[in-house]
């Protein structure tokens, strides 16, 4: 039985299909609707705005366009806790892995940010493909050789001809010498992505009072940003 309300066909908020059917009711008496195409269960109207799929989509776009947690909460009329739960949900769903089996030039760089307080720095160490800009892998931790090894472990099984980095000594000690190219002129692409991170994510902006209180939220939002950037790139 297709659902029609006020002479208007109800469509799925995820896939926009009109092939939806009634699927029981909530304890509040609100009608559940299930999409026959993508199997999503949703409601025509939500009592709690944070549960509305349209608000969830808008929340994601706000978070990835420079809005902070409390900014999102005020604009959407939901609680800050709901925003944090959404961040964790997005981070769990996001996957970051190399899409190809071989790359010619891979650039590696590190970027710092705050977690907890401004005395505690957390470093993002990540690798990108020079030609496509795809972010291949990322690792969060301290700025040391252990973090570099952890990043390389995520690139196991991928054939890489050359690694391009700046002149940080730890890179020279860990990366294979015959494949290591050193110099700022070889890392221009990844330096641009560093700027992209600080522009898009409020908690990474310089001289800001907005920063993650816990590492799990920091990790989740950055992982989501990487995933969304990768799937919207032209090479996918």
Distance CA 59, CA 13 (A): 15
CA–CA separation, 120 and 212 (whole Å):
11
60 and 167, same domain (yes or no): no
Domain termination residue (choose one: 32, 64, 93): 93
pLDDT at 27 over 80: no
Question: Cβ distance 24 to 37 under 8 Å?
Answer: no
Residues 128, 170, single domain; the answer is yes
Q: Are residues 79 and 138 in the same domain?
A: no
When pLDDT is averaged across residues 166-188 and rounded to a whole number, the result is: 95
pLDDT above 60 for 235? no
In this structure, the answer to whether residues 195 and 108 fall within a common structural domain is yes
Distance of CA 230 to the CA centre of its chain: 9
144 belongs to a structural domain: yes
What pTM did the predictor assign? 0.80
Contact 125, 108 (CB under 8 A): yes
* Average pLDDT of the chain to the nearest whole number: 88
41 in any annotated domain: yes
Q: How far apart are CA 170 and CA 165, in angstroms?
A: 10
Which range scores top for mean pLDDT: 29-43, 176-190, 205-219? 176-190
pLDDT grade, residue 54 (50/70/90)? confident
Residues 202-233 have pLDDT tens digits of: 989 887 778 888 999 999 999 999 999 998 75
Asked if 61 and 36 sit in the same domain, the reply is: no
* Separation of alpha carbons 4 and 75, rounded Å: 31
Q: Are both 168 and 87 inside the same structural domain? A: no
Any domain includes 236: no
| Within-domain flag for 7 | yes
Same domain, 28 and 138: no
Domains contained in the chain, number: 3
Same domain, 173 and 143: yes
* Residues above pLDDT 70, as percent of the chain: 93
Per-residue pLDDT, 236: 39
- Tell me: do 126 and 165 sit in the same domain: yes
Q: What is the mean pLDDT of residues 136-156?
A: 95
Q: Which domain holds residue 58?
A: 49-93
Residue 234 has pLDDT above 80, yes or no: no
The CATH number of residue 114's host domain is 3.30.420.10
| 54 and 36 co-located in one domain | no
Are 39 and 75 part of one and the same domain? no
Structural contact between residues 158 and 180, judged by C-beta atoms closer than 8 angstroms = no
In this structure, the answer to whether residues 19 and 65 fall within a common structural domain is: no
């Amino acid at each position: 039985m297709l659902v029609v309300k006020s002479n208007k066909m109800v469509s799925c908020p995820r896939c926009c299909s009109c092939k939806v059917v009634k699927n029981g009711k909530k304890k509040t008496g609100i009608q559940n609707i299930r999409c026959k195409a993508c199997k999503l269960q949703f409601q025509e109207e939500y009592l709690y705005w944070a549960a509305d799929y349209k608000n969830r989509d808008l929340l994601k776009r706000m978070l990835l366009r420079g809005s902070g947690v409390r900014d999102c909460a005020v604009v959407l009329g939901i609680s800050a806790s709901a925003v944090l739960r959404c961040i964790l949900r997005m981070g769990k769903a996001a996957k970051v892995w190399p899409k190809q089996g071989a790359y010619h030039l891979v650039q590696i760089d590190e970027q710092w940010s705050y977690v907890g307080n401004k005395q505690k720095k957390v470093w993002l160490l990540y690798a990108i493909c020079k030609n496509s800009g795809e972010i291949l892998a990322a690792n969060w931790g301290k700025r040391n050789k252990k973090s570099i090894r952890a990043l390389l472990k995520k690139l196991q099984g991928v054939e890489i001809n050359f690694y391009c980095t700046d002149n940080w000594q730890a890179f020279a000690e860990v990366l294979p010498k015959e494949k290591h190219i050193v110099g700022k002129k070889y890392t221009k692409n990844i330096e641009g992505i560093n700027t992209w991170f600080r522009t898009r994510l409020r908690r990474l902006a310089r001289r800001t009072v907005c920063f993650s209180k816990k590492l799990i939220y920091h990790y989740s939002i950055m992982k989501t940003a990487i995933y969304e950037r990768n799937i919207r790139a032209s090479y996918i």
